[in-house]
Chain A
Amino acid sequence: MRELIIDRFEETYVVCQTPDGKLDAFPRKRLPENAREGSWLVIHDDGTVEVDEEKTLRRQAINMYRLKNILKRRKDD
């Protein structure tokens, strides 16, 4: 089992990153329907792919909060 994060969609490909930032791309048709940009994917040993919704939402919330804080600090200066 391994994890990949969806960076973007390019034509028939989904472009992903490993958690340490390495690029990986594979055909879009292998993705489950609920996959979107930002999704954390779990690639099982048998090749099936599923979205880790809980981790996706948690990471998105963390990054939204970080961005808001950076912007707020700027406003407060």
Chain B
Amino acid sequence: MAKRKNKKVNPSLPRWVVSVFVAIALVLSVLTFGGDLAGMDTSFLQSCMDAIDRLLYGGPTSPAPSLPASGQAKVYIIDVGQGESILITTEERSMLIDAGENDKGDEVLAFLDTLGLDSLDYALATHPDSDHIGGLDTVLESIEVGEVFFGEIPAKLTPTTKTYEDVLDVIEEKDIPLSLAHAGDIIDMGSGAQLTILGPIDPQQATSKNNASLVSRLDFGETSFLFNGDQEAPMEKMLLENGVDLDCDMMTMGHHGSSTSSTPEYLEAVSPDYASISCGRGNKYGHPHDETIENLEELGVEYYRTDLSGNITFTSDGKTISVRTEKP
């Protein structure tokens, strides 16, 4: 399994800032060492060094991500640059939703490795675009996955890329059970959690793979999470018109925060407290779009972006949700 990469200095910091803080950290470490020898309380000095560590290396803001404790469920938004990958874990089960671009499979595996996960119960591909299923073949090849879910795609949109064929190859080679998921299906995530497929209501109406995205909600105790894939306004409208229960505490912003998704009507129906945006720093598509950010801010939603915060962990104890980010 792939290993974690070494920590790198935050590239957005000017060199002189890095030099100054490295110098301060050196002085602090000498003072801490001396203070410890002299039996003095050095906790304040250590806190200062931790703060410098966060500034220089971008984190962690709290201990490294971990699997859920008893009575918890966790949703991890894995930083895969311009793409999306989400891991859901309860004490009993795990599901990977998408795995980023072709070159991100090893990063997803490294994240699972950090958690100590060497197998997955489920993998769900929201839709077969390369920024969502690109890394899936690597994941499926490297670890045991109990079952894979695809959404239904209209025949005229059948993918013909090597990325898609690579995923089919590994499913065939390893004889991994594959099912098509449809609106109304429920997947038992153990520990009382369940994932319900909400959309697409009518996949044959999709005019792009984005709009054939599997949309699902995770319910755990009184808390709920909505995963939108890349569905855009027409499919959001279909969910609204069909009276689907969209009200959730947390949602992933559709299509990387593009203005083609997350209409004000949809956002209002979900009325999330938290949101995540999976996007790459400086991506050429301008994700997330200004309109999306404005809408979130207008509704007072606490939102996190993978391009700024790195990996994001939402922890539910069944009543409330807490958030941890890799970078400050």
Instruction: Please indicate the chain A residues that have their CB under 8 angstroms from the CB of B130 in the complex.
Output: 7-8, 15, 17, 23
Q: How far is the CB of A25 from chain B (nearest CB, A)?
A: 7
Q: Mark A10-21, 1 if CB is under 8 A from B, else 0.
A: 110101010111
- Complex Cα distance, B209 from A61, in Å, reads 17
Q: How far is the CA of A10 from the CA of B147 in the complex (A)?
A: 30
A37 within 8 A of B: yes
Instruction: Tell me, yes or no, whether B141 is within 8 Å of chain A by CB.
Output: no
Residue of A nearest to B256 (CB): A10
Query: With A and B bound together, what is the CA distance between A67 and B101 in angstroms?
Result: 21
How many residues of A are in contact with the other chain, CB < 8 A?
29
Name the A residues within 8 Å of B285 (CB-CB): 10-11, 13
User: A60 to B171, Cβ gap below 8 A?
Assistant: no
Does A5 lie within 8 Å of B161, measured CB to CB?
Answer: yes
Contact of B162 among A20, A25, A56, A60 (CB under 8 A): A20
Query: Which residues from chain B contact A13 at a C-beta distance below 8 Å?
Result: 284-285
Assess the B163–A17 pair: CB atoms within 8 A: yes
Inter-chain contact B161/A17, CB cutoff 8 Å: yes
B164 to chain A: which residues have CB within 8 Å?
63
Question: Do A60 and B158 have beta carbons less than 8 Å apart?
Answer: yes
The answer to whether the Cβ of B263 comes within 8 Å of any Cβ in the partner chain is no
Residues A11 and B179 in contact, CB atoms below 8 Å apart? no
Per the CB 8 Å criterion, the residue count for chain B at the interface is 32
Contact of B177 among A19, A60, A74 (CB under 8 A): A74
Q: Which of A10, A15, A17, A70 has the most CB of B within 10 A?
A: A10
Residues in A neighbouring B129, C-beta threshold 8 A: 7-8
> B177 contacts A63, CB within 8 Å?
no
Alpha-carbon gap, A27 to B183, bound state (A): 35
Q: Name the residue of chain A whose CB is nearest to the CB of B289.
A: A11
CB of B62, distance to nearest CB on chain A (Å): 34
B residues with a Cβ closer than 8 A to A are: 101-102, 129-131, 150, 155-166, 168, 171-172, 177-180, 208-210, 258, 284-286
Subset of 22 A-B contacts with CB under 8 Å: A5-B160, A7-B130, A8-B130, A8-B131, A8-B210, A9-B208, A10-B285, A15-B130, A21-B102, A21-B161, A23-B102, A37-B157, A38-B157, A38-B160, A60-B155, A60-B158, A63-B164, A63-B165, A63-B168, A67-B150, A67-B168, A74-B177
